[in-house]
A and B are shown apart, each in its own frame.
Chain A
Amino acid sequence: MWKFIKPRPGNLRAWQLAVLIAVFGLWHVLTRPGLIPPFVFDNDRQAAFFFGEPVVIFERIVAWFFTNADIYQHLWVTLVETVLAFGIGTALGLVFGLWLALSAMAAAILDPYIKAANSMPRVILAPIFAVWFGLGIASKVALGVTLVFFIVFFNVYQGVKEVSPVVLANARMLGASSRQLLRHVYLPSATSWVFSSLHTSVGLAFVGAVVGEYLGSSRGVGYLILQAEGAFDINTVMAGILVLTAFALVLDAAVGRIERRLMKWQPRSGETEKL
């Protein structure tokens, strides 16, 4: 028996699923009123009040997606905010990273300010952005951009600094102009660093969007969570968190897909295709 269920690469997915079921099963058993006698709380309804009940949470999610189908507009808003913050932040980080890495004097002048701007807890800017850009999409995008920008910026900066001097000299000997060097050497070299940061930055763009919504908005998944919290509806809060988690996983997978397509020139460990 054990021989069949022993963890091995073949039944990896089954084991991952088993862990998920175990977590939700335990959650269900510990919170369902009347299932087991209360041992932490005073009565058997309090556990469900504080931690939510998986069954009710799933009913909530099903209602959102199928029965009422009313979550799509909120998801759409959050998605637009995330993608805009991600795109704008990455583009700005790329441009500034390239500029400062290639212009030593500008980098020397701006160095202390970049360090200061990066160490500032940027989430605290959210109320200011709400004042500047209103409670619509723009203020959330602005917050996400400040989070994404620095991650991409530092990676591009590092990526350009670490271009192999031999590859660079070789490209110059082959007759590359400074514009061609930028396009054919610096940019591809920085891209590998950017991609390693994109998984972090897509997560942060998402954080920017949701935190922005949470602080003040009229639509978005963060808004749903805020509403439910105001009514002590812990089941809806938990449902919102689960939806956000799944959503973040999908975004991360999308980035991974693009990365694999664009970075196929990079050696991967375990790849033994050499001739």
Chain B
Amino acid sequence: MMGAPALSLRGVGCTFVDRHDARQRYTAVSDVTLEVGAGEFVSVVGPTGCGKSTLLNVAAGLLAPSSGTVAVFGAPLSGINARAGYMFQAESLMPWRTALANVMAGLEFRGAADAKERAMEWLRRVGLGAFGDRYPHQLSGGMRKRTSLAQTLALDPDIILMDEPFSALDIQTRQLMENEVLALWAAKKKAVLFITHDLDEAIAMSDRVVVLSAGPASRPIGEFTVDLERPRDVAEVRAMPRFVELHQAIWGVLRDEVLKGYQQQLAA
């Protein structure tokens, strides 16, 4: 099937049931329809606790949705999404493997003969060529994130899922990483689904920004095409008038949801 979107979520809903008490239910997302075209960079923004990560886990095949369907390049998804690479928000490197062995892991699992050479090349590409023999605890937070990036990209996935990958980094490191990701993305043109709570980051990086409503039962409530020219520099692009316009438009939709989410957290 040609021209099918890289990732297509149709009417996806996720309801969690408490393990000890079946009456305790929580609907994280409901009726989400979302498409990411091949080579498209889509960001999802929303207030905290609105089920952004749930959505990504569904797209990765780590979580089966309660309702709705997921299709990858037109084929229905069951089990792990083998065409996707996932960059997690939390620390995801195996602490007992060196940086190089971590980048190698995916290639090793798939039985690639030249795993070591390819992993080394990716390490160099993210600027860690000299740190291959270090264990994760011997690397700084930014270096660990870059190792994760190399680990994910070394498998050359067609779809890249990113869950607030840079939220734990300081602002300078973060902008460097964002530019790096944009450069790598521009070179290979993968489909990217990028989750963030940072609107600036979302606009600076994406082709399209989707706004989710406050939870529970979040769903997309707005969609904006970002028509800023590429290649972009995430720091410079923020000063452009069009960026400010987009920011105001999206924030207009997002603000009410953020306030709603905040009120709910206060009430809880």
Report how far A164 CA is from B86 CA in the complex, Å. Answer: 16
Contact of B88 among A166, A180, A189 (CB under 8 A): A166
Residues of A within 8 A of B109 (CB): 171, 174-177, 180, 184
Q: Which of B81, B82, B109 has the most CB of A within 10 A?
A: B109
Chain B, 90-126, CB within 8 A of any chain A CB: 90-98, 105-106, 109-110
Check A174 against B151 for contact (C-beta < 8 Å).
yes
A112 at the interface (CB under 8 A from B): no
B138 at the interface (CB under 8 A from A): yes
Chain B, 141-156, CB within 8 A of any chain A CB: 143, 151, 155
B186 at the interface (CB under 8 A from A): no
Report how far A164 CA is from B57 CA in the complex, Å. Answer: 16
Report how far A171 CA is from B139 CA in the complex, Å. Answer: 20
A172 at the interface (CB under 8 A from B): yes
- Total A-B residue pairs with C-beta atoms closer than 8 Å? 81
Residues of A within 8 A of B92 (CB): 166-167, 169-170
Report how far A177 CA is from B82 CA in the complex, Å. Answer: 12
Check A274 against B62 for contact (C-beta < 8 Å).
no
Q: How far is the CB of B147 from chain A (nearest CB, A)?
A: 12
Report how far A274 CA is from B91 CA in the complex, Å. Answer: 17
B185 at the interface (CB under 8 A from A): no
Q: In the complex where A169-B88, A184-B105 touch, is A175 in contact with B62 (Cβ < 8 A)?
A: no
Report how far A170 CA is from B102 CA in the complex, Å. Answer: 11
Check B138 against A274 for contact (C-beta < 8 Å).
yes
- B56-68 interface bits toward A, Cβ cutoff 8 Å, 1 = contact, 0 = none: 0100101000000
Report how far A180 CA is from B62 CA in the complex, Å. Answer: 17
A42 at the interface (CB under 8 A from B): no
Check B97 against A265 for contact (C-beta < 8 Å).
yes
Check A171 against B80 for contact (C-beta < 8 Å).
no
Residues of A within 8 A of B139 (CB): 274-275
Contact of A184 among B84, B85, B94, B135 (CB under 8 A): B94
Report how far A173 CA is from B97 CA in the complex, Å. Answer: 17
B232 at the interface (CB under 8 A from A): no
Chain B, 129-172, CB within 8 A of any chain A CB: 131, 134-140, 143, 151, 155
Contact of B105 among A164, A166, A171, A266 (CB under 8 A): A171
- A154-186 interface bits toward B, Cβ cutoff 8 Å, 1 = contact, 0 = none: 000000000010110111111111001000110
Closest 6 CB pairs of A and B: A174-B106, A170-B92, A267-B137, A188-B96, A173-B86, A265-B135
Q: What are 15 of the A-B contact pairs (CB < 8 Å)? A: A167-B91, A167-B93, A169-B60, A169-B86, A169-B88, A170-B86, A170-B92, A173-B86, A174-B105, A175-B109, A177-B109, A188-B96, A189-B96, A265-B98, A275-B131
Q: Which residues of B contact A (CB under 8 A)?
A: 57, 60, 62, 80-82, 84-86, 88, 90-98, 105-106, 109-110, 131, 134-140, 143, 151, 155
